[in-house]
Each structure stands twice: as structure tokens, then as C-alpha cells.
């Protein structure tokens, strides 16, 4: 059996793996990276990139519907799913090639196949034995299928990008960001949507007021939300449709069912038992804040470790780990400062601490918030409201967190995340000259009392 030797072997070519491999190679290490499927991981192939392209497409539905009030006389428009799917596939393939070029330029050896650990620092791949001084596991996570009858008839988020045609009716099991995003996308593509979620509200990790604003608008858009309902079975009916039954006996009939009930670590058949790595009760690899496991020179990053399953978080973790290994000391990523967004309809974004988290830590905070109608809605005559919120430390006046529900929330939140990272105070926000007219300017004039402008 042929043996290959490297300084660092990375298993998994997603966001964390690719960034770590490239930086390590640029630091002078001999690096190889193994990928079982396609370069880019979940984000590029089945996650953020294709989903955001669908989000851009879905936005045209709203723009076309409102265009008459803005003076545009448009002929009737027709949505073609196959055209969009092919365009998205082509864009994803371009990004995959860009990843290939980036790794090659850095001098990283790219290997494809299914890796299996045979010793703590040795991997078997395609009949070859690969040994490395240091090992990084960055294999990501996949959709979790709850153990209920008929679950194998359900689609996962990966499948949604490969549909030959859209269903007329889609039932979605789950109430997290994947469920909420696909609900908004598919509804604007003309699909009748029902969400079945065991939680009492959508997006439990996000600010409750923000998610309630989103839920109200989703209902107004025609999405049927069945909250506090646990799906117990999926049954194939005689006409080929699927019936979802809940614990309370409700029955929802749809053409397809999407299961979006969480994710599990991609560690099956990897042979982790030979390394004796510590796992949590859900099977994710336990690490410290720099990605170190309980075994020397074995590291894990990204979704395979659980925690915040976000591409920028995985990249930041990779950068911190490589600094730790090659140019110490390294400062770990502060999860309290990480911004995130849900590309739902309407979108939600937040950075820093929510009100609930701050109070759960015993912090005394002031909360500034506002509900208002965006200028665009004046002509479109839509009833959707924007909601914004700041969480401020009462003693220091430092802004601990910001949240928003409404158009362009993610773009606005990126700027606010910089301010929060820099330690800006509420007084700093108030002294900032606003750009008018924008939704973002409302963050510069928030009062402590909730107010609503019609």
C-alpha cells in the first residue's frame, strides 16, 4: 500500500477546511485536503450560495407585483423553475472551480474519496495510506431525519435544489432557519406552504419579537404555520401525495414534504473510534475555542463541532487555529459578536446579544426598539412592518446587540456588527449622521419606549 506523508491533513473541503488548508500551506506546511463530494461543502453546494441565489430570484416576484404602483406597465410574467435551477447550478460550478484554483495556487494537494481513519494520524483513502503530523476534521453536518414512519419519503434541503419541478403543495417539518427560508422562497415561487414545527415559535435562537413580526407577515403571505405540533408520521396516499400526521391528530396533505428538523455531524464511517475523540450527546466533536480536541494534534472545525453553524464562523475558526499553530498566540472567535441572518420573507438579522440572552446572564440592559413602515411600502401599499431593536448595557451604555426584521436586514446588520465589535455605545449611534431616507437611519434615533410609526 502506498503511503503519503503530510504536515497537515484536512478531511472535508468546506469553508473551514479550505481556509485552514490554504493558510497552512501559505505558512510553509505540506498540506493535503480530502473531499468526498464537491469542493465548497454545504455552503457552496447546498446551502448559503444556491439558497441566496433563489432568494434573489424570489425577490423579483415582489418587485413585479408592485411595479405598477411605481409607474411600470409590465406584461404578464411567468416563472420558470428549470431556468433558475440551471443558472444556479452553473454559478455553483464556477465557485467550485474557484476553490480548486485557490487550493492549487497555495500548493495544497486535493484528494477525492471517502476517508477512513485507521490510526490517530493515519487515513486510508482509495487504497493509499496517508499519514500526517496534524489532522483537521472539518466534515460538516447533514440534515437530520427524525425517526418517524415514512421519513424516507421526505426531501432534505439538499434535494430542494435538484427538483425537476416544483410541487403545488409543500409541507415543511421544522421551524428553524432552513424551514423558514425555504417557506418564503417556495411561497413566492407559487407553492402552497404549510410549516409543522414542535416549537411554540419560529427561529428559537433569534429575538422573539423579531420572529413574531416575521411570522405575522408569513401568515399574511398565505403560509400556514402549525406551531407546537410534532410530526409523528408521513404516509404515502393512493394518489401519490403525502400526508403528515401530527401528535394532536392533525393531517396535512402535500405533494412533497421537506424535513428541516436540525442537522447531525458527518462522522459516520470516518473511524473516529480509533482516535478516541470526545463527542457530545448529539455526536458532534467536542473542541475548545481554538478547535483543539482531547487528542494531541487532532483538531476539528465548523459544523462537525456543532455550535454556530455559519460559514463566516467556520472561516474565522480556521484562521484562529492556523494562527495558533504557526504564529501564536491566537485569539479565539468571540461567539457573542457574531452576526447572522435568515433570508426569510421578511428577512431577519442580528448581531451580538439578544435581550433574552443578556438578561439570562444577569445583565441589566436598556432596550430600544421601533416598528415602522418602510418608504417603499408607501407606494406598494403593502402592510408589512419593519422592526428594529438595540440591546444596551445600562451601566456602560455599550451596545450589546442589534436585531432587525425587514427588507435589507442582512446588509444593514453587517455595518452594525462592525460597530458592536468595536464597542460602540448608544451615544455613538445617536451622534451618527443618518443617510436619509433609509431604514438603517432608524438605528440612529431610537428611543427607549417602543413606538410605531404608521
Looking at the predicted structure, is the pLDDT value of residue 111 above 70?
A: yes
HSE at residue 368, side-chain half, CA atoms within 13 A, is 22
Q: In this structure, which CATH number among 3.30.390.30, 3.40.190.10, 3.40.640.10, 3.50.50.60 belongs to the domain 346-447?
A: 3.30.390.30
Domain locations in the chain?
Answer: 3-143+264-335, 151-261, 346-447
Catalytic residue among 80, 121, 264, 436: 436
The DSSP line for 159-216 is HHTT-SS--SEEEEE--SHHHHHHHHHHHHTT-EEEEE-SSSSS-TTS-HHHHHHHHH
Looking at the predicted structure, is the pLDDT value of residue 429 above 60?
A: yes
Write out pLDDT tens, residues 147-158. Answer: 999 999 999 999
**Average pLDDT of the chain, as a whole number:** 96
Q: In this structure, which CATH number among 3.40.50.2000, 3.10.450.40, 3.50.50.60, 3.90.420.10 belongs to the domain 151-261?
A: 3.50.50.60
Orientation angle between helical segments 15-26 and 311-326, nearest 10 degrees? 30
Check the annotation: does 62 bind a ligand: no
Check the annotation: does 262 bind a ligand: yes
Q: What per-residue confidence (pLDDT) applies to 454?
A: 39
Shortest CA distance to 422 belongs to which of 352, 362, 360, 365? 352
Q: Provide the sign of the torsion angle of the four alpha carbons 72, 74, 78, 84, taken in this order.
A: negative
Check the annotation: does 14 bind a ligand: no
Q: Percentage of the chain surpassing pLDDT 70? A: 98
Write out pLDDT tens, residues 346-355. Answer: 999 999 999 9
Check the annotation: does 52 bind a ligand: yes
Check the annotation: does 178 bind a ligand: yes
Strands ordered across the beta sheet of 192-196: 224-226, 192-196, 169-173, 256-259
Check the annotation: does 303 bind a ligand: yes
Looking at the predicted structure, is the pLDDT value of residue 449 above 70?
A: no
**pTM recorded for the entire structure:** 0.95
| CB contact set of 443 (below 8 Å; sequence gap of 6+) | 388, 390, 402, 412, 416, 429
Q: Is 414 helix (H, G, I), strand (E, B) or coil?
A: helix
Q: What per-residue confidence (pLDDT) applies to 378?
A: 86
Per-residue confidence at 453, pLDDT binned at 50, 70, 90? very low
Residue 436 annotated in active site: yes
Q: Which three cell numbers stand for residue 397?
A: 451604555
Write out pLDDT tens, residues 356-385. Answer: 999 999 999 999 999 999 998 888 878 889
Q: Which three cell numbers stand for residue 235?
A: 404516509
| Cβ atoms of 404 and 210 closer than 8 Å | yes
Q: In this structure, which CATH number among 3.40.50.720, 3.50.50.60, 3.90.1150.200, 3.40.50.2000 belongs to the domain 3-143+264-335?
A: 3.50.50.60
Q: What per-residue confidence (pLDDT) applies to 74?
A: 81
- Identical fold between 151-261 and 346-447: no
Amino acid at each position: 500500500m502506498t503511503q503519503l506523508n503530510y504536515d497537515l491533513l484536512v478531511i472535508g473541503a468546506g469553508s473551514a477546511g479550505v481556509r485552514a488548508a490554504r493558510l497552512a500551506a501559505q505558512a510553509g506546511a505540506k498540506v493535503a485536503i480530502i473531499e468526498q463530494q464537491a469542493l465548497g461543502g454545504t455552503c457552496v453546494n447546498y446551502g448559503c450560495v444556491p439558497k441566496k441565489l433563489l432568494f434573489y430570484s424570489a425577490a423579483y416576484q415582489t418587485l413585479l407585483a408592485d411595479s405598477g404602483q411605481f409607474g411600470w406597465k409590465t406584461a404578464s410574467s411567468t416563472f420558470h423553475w428549470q431556468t433558475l435551477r440551471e443558472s444556479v447550478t452553473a454559478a455553483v460550478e464556477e465557485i467550485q472551480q474557484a476553490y480548486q484554483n485557490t487550493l492549487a495556487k497555495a500548493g495544497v494537494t486535493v484528494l477525492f474519496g471517502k476517508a477512513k481513519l485507521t490510526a490517530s494520524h493515519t487515513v486510508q483513502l482509495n487504497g493509499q495510506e496517508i499519514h500526517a503530523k496534524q489532522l483537521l476534521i472539518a466534515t460538516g453536518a447533514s440534515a437530520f431525519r427524525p425517526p418517524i414512519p415514512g421519513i424516507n419519503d421526505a426531501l432534505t434541503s439538499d434535494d430542494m435544489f435538484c427538483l425537476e419541478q416544483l410541487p403545488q403543495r409543500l409541507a415543511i417539518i421544522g421551524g428553524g432557519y432552513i424551514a423558514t427560508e425555504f417557506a418564503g422562497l417556495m411561497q413566492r415561487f407559487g407553492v402552497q406552504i404549510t410549516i409543522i414545527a414542535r416549537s411554540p415559535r419560529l427561529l428559537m435562537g433569534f429575538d422573539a419579537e423579531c420572529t413574531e413580526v416575521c411570522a405575522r407577515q408569513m401568515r399574511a403571505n398565505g403560509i400556514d404555520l402549525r406551531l407546537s405540533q410534532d410530526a409523528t408520521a408521513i404516509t404515502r396516499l393512493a394518489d401519490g401525495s403525502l400526508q403528515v400526521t401530527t401528535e394532536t391528530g392533525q393531517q396535512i396533505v402535500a405533494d412533497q414534504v421537506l424535513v428541516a428538523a436540525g442537522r447531525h455531524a458527518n462522522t459516520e464511517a470516518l473511524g473516529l473510534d480509533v482516535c478516541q475523540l470526545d463527542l457530545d450527546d448529539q455526536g458532534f466533536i467536542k473542541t475548545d475555542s481554538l478547535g483543539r480536541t482531547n487528542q494531541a494534534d487532532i483538531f476539528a472545525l465548523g459544523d462537525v463541532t456543532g455550535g454556530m453553524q455559519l460559514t463566516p464562523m467556520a472561516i474565522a475558526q480556521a484562521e484562529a487555529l492556523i494562527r495558533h499553530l504557526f504564529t501564536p498566540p491566537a485569539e479565539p472567535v468571540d461567539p457573542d459578536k457574531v452576526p447572522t441572518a435568515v433570508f426569510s420573507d421578511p428577512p431577519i438579522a442580528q448581531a451580538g446579544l439578544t435581550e433574552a440572552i443578556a438578561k439570562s446572564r444577569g445583565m441589566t440592559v436598556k432596550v430600544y426598539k421601533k416598528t415602522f413602515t418602510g418608504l417603499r411600502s408607501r407606494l406598494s401599499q403593502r402592510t408589512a412592518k419593519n422592526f428594529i431593536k438595540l440591546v444596551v448595557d445600562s451601566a456602560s451604555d455599550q451596545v450589546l446587540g442589534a436585531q432587525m426584521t425587514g427588507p435589507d436586514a442582512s446588509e444593514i446588520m453587517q455595518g452594525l456588527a462592525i460597530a458592536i465589535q468595536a464597542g460602540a455605545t448608544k451615544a455613538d449611534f445617536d451622534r451618527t449622521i443618518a443617510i436619509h431616507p433609509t431604514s438603517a437611519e432608524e438605528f440612529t434615533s431610537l428611543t427607549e419606549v417602543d413606538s410605531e410609526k404608521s
